[in-house]
């Protein structure tokens, strides 16, 4: 065996062995300590404070990149049917308010032809999920004269949806299990309450750097969704990037890389979108943006990596098998890719605990192996032999 290979294997196994340490365990515990790290909440602020302190301790200068955006919050929306209160979720972008109307169940998903022979002027209509967008369903319902829209999920469980814009009439998503009850209540009066509120969110990206002209960015979002501790999504990526920053701190790579911790990802990639618009000159000097999201639980075979083909080629001799990702998914690399920066997205698949209260554990060897792959790319790209 060649000497460099032996040396490299030793280093590689060392890196793996070193990854789950009291230090990284403490990182994970600190990130999970205050509950879901929803952007703009004290838990997200506490996570940001912890990361900032750790990165400074590792010798980086820390730049806080604050930004604001507005988010809609559902304060508890429902349909009152006689004595029964059916809990639902406001479709994001729905007008708020109370509507009293007679119930009509439309047979189908709410395309125009589904309304044939129905008189729905001034009524609250029920349609099923699927085939057309929520916004199309609402526009058609409004055209037909309906004053409220109830969308039944097409599988068990509640429905969380968005109009991705402003909807024309108040709209709620409902559990598929309510279909029978609604069918049986045709023609009865219902009261729909959409109780939403817009709030200003204070987001905070964190940038750890040792130079002003980075050639690569390694990033992960540290925020999580309401109700989920977000261990895999995405404390896994956050801890991996933090530990990489530490281990590379006294190497030549630290002069060429910015480590960025994004906020507001779960509300629509706010942190990365604002970064891309606020750091235009930095973008021009970038050879790569490497994004880590959900790298602590293995789904299927191999480490999923998607993005730029030339960057992917740098992983051809990576010790862990690489599974090419087709579509590169909705995460913080997307705004960079759209701005013309070559990206790689590291991701191990959607596990069963995704966005649930049970997203509580990661497998340390997977973080180590991801860190190694990222380090390989950085070495090949920025320190050519």
Question: What are the residues binding ligand BES (CB under 6 A)?
Answer: 233-234, 265-266, 268-269, 293-294, 329-331, 347, 350
Query: What is 73-92 written as a DSSP string?
Result: EES-EEEEETTEEEEEEEPB
Cα Rg of the chain (Å, integer):
24
Q: Does residue number 114 form part of the binding site for Zn ion (CB under 5 A)?
A: no
70 HSE (CA, 13 A, CB side)? 8
Taking the complex as a whole, the smallest distance from the CB of residue 379 to Zn ion amounts, in Å, to 26
Look at residue 268 and give the partner it binds from Zn ion, ligand BES, none, a contact being a CB closer than 5 to 8 Å depending on partner kind. ligand BES
Q: How many CB atoms lie within 10 A of CB 191?
A: 16
Q: 215 or 363, CB closer to ligand BES?
A: 363
Look at residue 205 and give the partner it binds from Zn ion, ligand BES, none, a contact being a CB closer than 5 to 8 Å depending on partner kind. none
Q: 129 or 333, CB closer to Zn ion?
A: 333
User: Are 164 and 140 spatial neighbours (Cβ–Cβ below 8 Å)?
Assistant: no
Residues in 162-221 that interact with Zn ion by CB under 5 A:
none
Q: 233 or 375, CB closer to Zn ion?
A: 233
Angle at alpha carbon of residue 352, lines to 128 and 289, rounded to 5°:
100
Distance CA 292, CA 116 (A): 49
151, β-bridge pairs: 127, 173
Taking the complex as a whole, the smallest distance from the CB of residue 350 to ligand BES amounts, in Å, to 5
Look at residue 176 and give the partner it binds from ligand BES, Zn ion, none, a contact being a CB closer than 5 to 8 Å depending on partner kind. none
204: phi then psi, degrees, rounded to nearest 5: -140, 110
Taking the complex as a whole, the smallest distance from the CB of residue 267 to ligand BES amounts, in Å, to 7
Look at residue 329 and give the partner it binds from ligand BES, Zn ion, none, a contact being a CB closer than 5 to 8 Å depending on partner kind. ligand BES
Q: What share of the chain is helix, strand, coil (3-state, %, to 5)?
A: 35, 25, 40
Residue closest to 67 by CA, chosen among 265, 199, 224, 202 = 202
**Regarding beta strands 148-152 and 171-174, do their DSSP bridges make them parallel or antiparallel, or are they unpaired?**
parallel
Look at residue 54 and give the partner it binds from Zn ion, ligand BES, none, a contact being a CB closer than 5 to 8 Å depending on partner kind. none
Query: What is 38-66 written as a DSSP string?
Result: -TTSHHHHHHHHHHHHHHHHTT-EEEEEE
Taking the complex as a whole, the smallest distance from the CB of residue 339 to ligand BES amounts, in Å, to 16
| SS3 at position 203 | strand
Look at residue 347 and give the partner it binds from ligand BES, Zn ion, none, a contact being a CB closer than 5 to 8 Å depending on partner kind. ligand BES
Q: 193 or 266, CB closer to ligand BES?
A: 266
Distance CA 80, CA 170 (A): 14
Taking the complex as a whole, the smallest distance from the CB of residue 233 to Zn ion amounts, in Å, to 4
Taking the complex as a whole, the smallest distance from the CB of residue 39 to ligand BES amounts, in Å, to 11
Site mask for Zn ion (CB under 5 A), range 285-314, x = bound: --------x---------------------
Residues listed for the chain: 385
Q: 168 or 268, CB closer to ligand BES?
A: 268
Q: 135 or 269, CB closer to ligand BES?
A: 269
Residues at the site binding Zn ion, with contacts judged by CB under 5 A: 233-234, 293
């Amino acid at each position: 065996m060649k000497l460099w290979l032996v040396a490299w294997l030793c280093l590689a196994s060392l890196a793996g062995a070193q990854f789950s340490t009291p230090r990284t365990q403490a990182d994970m515990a600190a990130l999970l300590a205050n509950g879901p790290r929803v952007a703009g909440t004290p838990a997200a602020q506490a996570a940001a404070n912890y990361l900032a302190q750790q990165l400074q301790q590792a010798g980086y200068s820390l730049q806080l990149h604050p930004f604001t955006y507005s988010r809609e919050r559902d304060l508890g929306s429902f349909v009152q049917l006689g004595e029964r209160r059916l809990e639902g979720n406001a479709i994001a972008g729905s007008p708020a308010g109370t509507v009293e109307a007679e119930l009509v169940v439309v047979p189908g998903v709410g395309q125009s032809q589904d309304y044939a022979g129905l008189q729905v002027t001034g009524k609250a209509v029920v349609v099923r999920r699927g085939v057309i967008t929520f916004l199309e369903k609402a526009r058609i319902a409004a055209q037909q004269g309906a004053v409220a829209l109830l969308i039944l999920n097409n599988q068990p469980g509640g429905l969380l949806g968005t109009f991705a814009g402003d909807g024309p009439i108040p709209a709620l998503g409902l559990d598929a299990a309510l279909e029978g009850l609604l069918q049986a209540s045709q023609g009865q009066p219902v009261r729909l309450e959409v109780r939403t509120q817009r709030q200003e969110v204070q987001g905070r990206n964190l940038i750890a750097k040792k130079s002003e002209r980075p050639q690569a960015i390694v990033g992960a979002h540290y925020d999580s969704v309401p109700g989920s501790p977000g261990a895999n999504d995405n404390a896994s990526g956050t801890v991996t990037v933090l530990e990489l920053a530490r281990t590379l701190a006294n190497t030549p790579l630290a002069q060429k890389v910015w480590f960025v911790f994004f906020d507001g990802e779960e509300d629509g990639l706010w942190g990365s979108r604002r970064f891309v618009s606020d750091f235009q000159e930095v973008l021009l000097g970038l050879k790569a943006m490497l994004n880590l999201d959900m790298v602590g639980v293995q789904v299927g075979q191999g480490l999923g990596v998607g993005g730029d083909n030339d960057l992917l080629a740098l992983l051809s001799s990576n010790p862990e098998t690489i599974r090419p990702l087709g579509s590169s998914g909705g995460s913080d690399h997307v705004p960079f890719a759209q701005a013309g920066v070559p990206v790689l997205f590291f991701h191990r698949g959607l596990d069963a605990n995704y966005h649930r209260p049970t997203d509580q554990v990661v497998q340390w060897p997977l973080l180590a192996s991801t860190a190694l792959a990222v380090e390989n790319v950085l070495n090949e790209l920025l320190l050519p032999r």
